[in-house]
Amino acid sequence: MDRIRFQRAVRWLGVLLAAVLAVPTQPAAAQEFTPGSAGLGDPFFPLAGNGGYDVGHYSLAFSYDPATRVLDGTATLTATATQNLSRFDLDLRGFDIERLTVNGSAASYTREGQELVITPSAGLPAGAVFRVVVGYSGVPEVITDPDESIEGFVPTDDGAFVVGEPQGSPGWYPANDNPRDKATYDFTVTVPAGITVMANGVLAARTTAGGRTTFVWRNTSPMAPYLATATLGRFDLTQYTLPSGIPSYVAVDPTLPTGNVLRKLPDMVEFYTSIYGPYPFEAVGAVVDDAPEVGYSLETQTKPVFYRMPDEATLAHEISHMWYGDSVTLTEWPDMWLHEGFATWSEWIWSEHLGRKSAHNWFKTLYNTPPQQTAFWTPPPGDPGSAEFLFNGTIYYRGAMTLQALREKIGDGDFFEILRRWAAEHRYGNVRTPQFVALAEQVSGMQLDHFFDVWLYQPEKPTSW
Ligand SMILES: [Zn+2]
């Protein structure tokens, strides 16, 4: 279709639509408007996320002063109603609400635990795009997880280490905090001059006036709320462009001992691109902070955050998560092995690629663990049982062993095709384990129910598969 004809067709379509719309519809009173659900029913975090709408974009603007630890912000969410909504929730923990509007009109609200329950002045019809503005301020609450790790907007001696997996994001911004509701983001963060803010995406602006610096970051690829960050503090920021044209931002806390490991980041991106397919995002990088009180690193989208200078395996692990975890994301948290098994196996294949210990030998070493060491073998990776075991070693190691066992059962050709197709067919999407099993069976032409049952769901050491 050429352009002129296309425009004419569009014009006629417009006339037709206007005619259809002119036909009187049901009176508004006949339509039911009901509240969106307070959660999305995740088995581990049933209240995380909310029903009745889908967020398209978050615009987060706030100031933060490490001296007072006060965050003062305005979050603007653009969302689409997925039902006729009389009321809906956002997830937010702590903070005073200073202003709340929906489509420019003041909305009433109540607080119930992590739920910010919002009643707009008029119902929101299904399909309507609406805008929520939340003005909020306070000292962010640090959140303790079921496994006793901490997350959220965690203060450090020079700023904050900001991580949200699995439920830390409502500790610093109002969110539909469920991995299923991906959105684009921009961040406008003002801090005392001398502090650097590292958020997701591309650095769009950095301006200093009156002793304060404002950083603007834009994340244009879909992102799950838990992968957002705005880690800030004293950082040496190095910017460069990868050979593929992707901008890279590497920030290092200057109090940390330097090393060579971060120089390997471009090679890692290139290697994983060669086996997993195109790098999924508009930027890459790393944020290396000094946050021993947090004690873990996280694959925040486009630039993972590290609580200390990472070793090579940890850097490889977090970079590989850009494909598996960030771009291809679980639908429900019990499927965590789809993130951690893949990232741990990615460490092994990086090692194999460099001619060091092969993935086969990593598998062999771990497989030698006796069955009596039940803490190594249980809970099985496909069924952590409770949120307390979400980050258990089995999810990582037995998850990775599952992939290596699959590789050895079906051969490299089919195995790598499965990995590439998994990344391509679910790019920016959400997945469940049965979809992976189905893809593996489709590509290999083999019946793999028994294989995956033994490796993912049986609580003891696999012996035949
Ligand atoms: Zn991981």
Query: What is the 299 CA–ligand 1 centroid distance (Å)?
Result: 7
Alpha-helix runs per DSSP H in 192-233 = none
Band (pLDDT 50/70/90 cuts) for residue 258 is confident
Q: Cα 463 to the chain's mean position, in Å?
A: 35
Strand residue runs (E) in 234-375: 236-241, 247-252, 284-288, 305-306, 329-330
- Distance from the alpha carbon of residue 85 to the mean position of ligand 1, in angstroms: 37
- Ligand 1 centroid distance, CA of 318 (Å): 6
Judge whether residue 16 has pLDDT over 70. Answer: no
Report the half-sphere exposure of 121 (CA within 13 A, side-chain side): 9
pLDDT band at 446 (very low <50, low <70, confident <90, very high): very high
Q: What are phi and psi of 65, to 5 degrees?
A: -120, 110
Question: Which one-letter DSSP state was computed for residue 262?
Answer: G
Distance from the alpha carbon of residue 294 to the mean position of ligand 1, in angstroms:
15
40-76 pLDDT, tens digit per residue, is 999 999 999 999 999 999 999 999 999 999 999 999 9
Task: Give the C-alpha separation, 86 to 245, whole Å.
Answer: 46
Taking the centre of ligand 1 as the mean of its atom positions, its distance from the CA of residue 344, in whole angstroms, is: 7
Sorting pLDDT into bands at 50, 70 and 90, what band is 30? low
Q: Are 324 and 423 in contact (CB under 8 A)?
A: yes
Ligand 1 mean position to 322 CA, how many Å? 10
- Cα 244 to averaged position of ligand 1 atoms, centre (Å): 25
Intra-chain end-to-end CA distance of the chain, in Å? 54
The tens digit of pLDDT for each residue in 297-319 reads 999 999 999 999 999 999 999 99
Within 10 A of 54 (CB to CB), how many other CB atoms are there? Answer: 13
Q: Which two tokens stand for residue 414?
A: 């089919």
Å from CA of 157 to ligand 1 middle: 25
Q: Mapping DSSP to helix (H, G, I), strand (E, B) and coil, where does residue 395 land? A: helix
Mean pLDDT in residue range 327-342: 98
* 321 Cα to the center of ligand 1, angstroms: 7
Please state, in angstroms and rounded to a whole number, the distance separating the CA atoms of residues 313 and 343. Answer: 10
Q: Are 165 and 229 in contact (CB under 8 A)?
A: no
Given a cut of 60, is residue 5 above it in pLDDT? no
Distance from the CA of 310 to the center of ligand 1, in angstroms?
13
Q: Distance from the CA of 262 to the center of ligand 1, in angstroms?
A: 18
H/E segment holding residue 219: strand 212-223
Cross-strand partners of 80: 54, 129
User: How many A from CA of 388 to the centre of ligand 1?
Assistant: 16
Rounded CA-CA distance 416/411 in Å is: 9
> Which pLDDT belongs to residue 415?
98
Q: Is the pLDDT of residue 98 over 90?
A: yes
Q: Which of 15-29, 107-121, 416-430 has the lowest mean pLDDT?
A: 15-29
18 vs 152: CA distance, rounded Å:
49
Q: What pLDDT does 31 receive?
A: 77
pLDDT for the residue 304: 98
Average pLDDT over residues 80-104: 98
CA of 324 to the centre of ligand 1 (A): 9
For 365-396, write each residue's pLDDT tens digit: 999 999 999 999 999 999 999 999 999 999 99
Cis peptide before 278 (omega within 30 of 0): no
Neighbouring C-beta atoms of residue 414, cutoff 10 Å: 17
Residue 245, classed as helix, strand or coil, is: coil
Longest CA pairwise span in the chain (Å): 74
134-154 per-position pLDDT tens digit: 999 999 999 999 999 999 999
Report the pLDDT value the prediction gives residue 259, as an integer from 0 to 100: 83
The secondary structure of 339-353, three-state, reads HHHHHHHHHHHHHHH
Ligand 1 center–CA 325 separation, angstroms: 8
Confidence check: pLDDT of 285 > 90 = yes
pLDDT tens digit string along 231-244? 999 999 999 999 99
Q: Which of 175, 163, 106, 101 is nearest to 132 (CA)?
A: 101
Q: What is the mean pLDDT of the chain?
A: 94
How many angstroms is it from 339 CA to the middle of ligand 1? 6
What length is written for the chain?
A: 465
Give the tokens for residue 279. Answer: 């790098």
Task: Look at strands 108-112 and 115-119 and give their pairing.
Answer: antiparallel
Residue 8 pLDDT > 50: no
Neighbours of 181 (CB within 10 A): 20
In Å, what is the CA distance from 381 to each residue of 42, 339, 461, 463?
17, 11, 12, 16
Distance 215 CA to ligand 1 centre (A): 28
The dihedrals phi and psi of 111, each to the nearest 5 degrees, come to: -115, 130
pLDDT over 60 (residue 14): no
Question: Ligand 1 centroid vs 337 CA: distance in angstroms?
Answer: 9
Secondary structure class of 437 (helix, strand, coil): helix
Q: For position 451, what pLDDT does the model report?
A: 98
Rounded mean pLDDT, 8-24: 46
CA of 315 to the centre of ligand 1 (A): 10
CA of 465 to the centre of ligand 1 (A): 26
Q: For residue 349, how far is its CA from the centre of ligand 1 (angstroms)?
A: 15
User: Cα(255) to centroid of ligand 1, in Å?
Assistant: 25
Distance between CA 272 and CA 288 in Å, rounded? 21
Rounded to the nearest whole angstrom, what is the distance from the C-alpha of residue 73 to the centroid of ligand 1? 30
The rounded Å distance from CA 387 to ligand 1 centre is: 16
Ligand 1 mean position to 389 CA, how many Å? 14
| Ligand 1 midpoint to CA 251 (Å) | 20
% of the chain with per-residue pLDDT over 90: 93
- Give the residue among 217, 199, 215 at the shortest CA–CA distance from 163: 199
* 80 CA → ligand 1 middle, Å: 31
For residue 437, pLDDT over 60 is answered with yes
* CA 240 – ligand 1 centroid, Å: 25
Ligand 1 centroid from CA 346, angstroms? 10
Read out DSSP for 59-87? EEEEEEETTTTEEEEEEEEEEEESS-EEE
Question: Would you call 362 helix, strand, or coil by DSSP?
Answer: helix
Residues paired with 62 in a beta bridge: 73, 189
For 371-382, give the DSSP string.
TT-HHHH-S-TT
- What is the pLDDT confidence band of residue 12, given thresholds at 50, 70 and 90? very low
